[in-house]
């Protein structure tokens, strides 16, 4: 068994947002109009919007995983449309009788 695993190819649904907050310390830059900024993934789960806070080092992977999900979604949608067309053609042919088949 290899001791190292290749990085898992994540799929992520949602959108990247930036959380801004004040920590409450009076001398912090956030009290002077520069809030702390944290990247986060906003996503829906069972109809509710959820937030997963991220670290800066997660950003590249998250962006790639979001793009991977969008590509996969597009791909499965294309396949589904092709499936509908194939089934529709088959039904039309079979309605027309065996004589029209190849
Ligand atoms: Zn602060």
Beta-sheet pairing, 48-53 with 36-45: antiparallel
For 87, the domain range is: 15-100
| pLDDT at residue 27, rounded to an integer | 93
* pTM of the model as a whole: 0.73
- Percent share of the chain, pLDDT over 90: 83
CA of 24 to the centre of ligand 1 (A): 6
- Read off the pLDDT band of 97 (50, 70, 90): low
Q: Which helix (H) or strand (E) holds 62?
A: helix 59-95
CA 20 / ligand 1 centre spacing (Å): 10
In a domain, 47, yes or no: yes
Give the pLDDT score at 3: 60
Ligand 1 centroid distance, CA of 38 (Å):
12
CA angle 73, 78, 84 (to 5 degrees): 125
Q: Is residue 1 part of a domain?
A: no
Separation of CA 39 and ligand 1 centre (Å): 16
Q: What pairs with residue 50 in β-bridges? A: 43
Q: For the chain, what is the domain count?
A: 1
CA separation for the pair 12, 52 (Å, rounded):
11
Between 1-5, 16-20, 84-88, 92-96, the lowest mean confidence (pLDDT) is in 1-5
For position 96, what pLDDT does the model report? 83
Domain annotation covers residue 82: yes
């Amino acid at each position: 068994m290899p001791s190292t695993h290749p990085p898992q190819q994540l799929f992520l649904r949602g959108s990247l947002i930036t959380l801004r907050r004040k920590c409450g310390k009076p001398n912090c830059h956030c009290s002077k109009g520069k809030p702390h900024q944290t990247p986060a993934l906003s996503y829906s789960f069972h109809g509710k919007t959820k937030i997963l806070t991220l670290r800066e080092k997660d950003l590249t992977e998250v962006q790639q995983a979001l793009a991977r999900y969008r590509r996969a979604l597009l791909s499965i949608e294309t396949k589904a449309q092709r499936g509908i067309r194939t089934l529709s053609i088959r039904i039309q042919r079979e309605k027309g009788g065996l004589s029209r088949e190849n």
